[in-house]
Amino acid sequence: MKRYLFLLALFAICNSSPLNSANDIRSYTNEREKDHYTFSYTLSDDQSRYEEGILNENGVYSVTGFYKYRGTNGKLYIVDYMANEKIGYRATVKIYDDLPLIAPVIDPSLLKTLVG
Give the CA distances from residue 36 to residues 27, 48, 50, 57, in Å, rounded to whole numbers and listed in that order: 20, 21, 14, 12
Contact indicator for 77, 71 with CB cutoff of 8 Å: yes
What is the structure's pLDDT at 107? 63
Q: How far apart are CA 25 and CA 22, in angstroms?
A: 10
Q: What confidence score (pLDDT) does residue 2 get?
A: 56
> Can you list the residues of the chain whose pLDDT is less than 70?
1-21, 98-116
pLDDT at res. 23 = 80
- Residue 22's Cβ-count burial label (10 Å; 0-12, 13-18, 19+) is exposed
Residue among 47, 23, 52, 12 at smallest CA distance from 35: 52
pLDDT score, position 45: 87
Strand partners, 25: 43
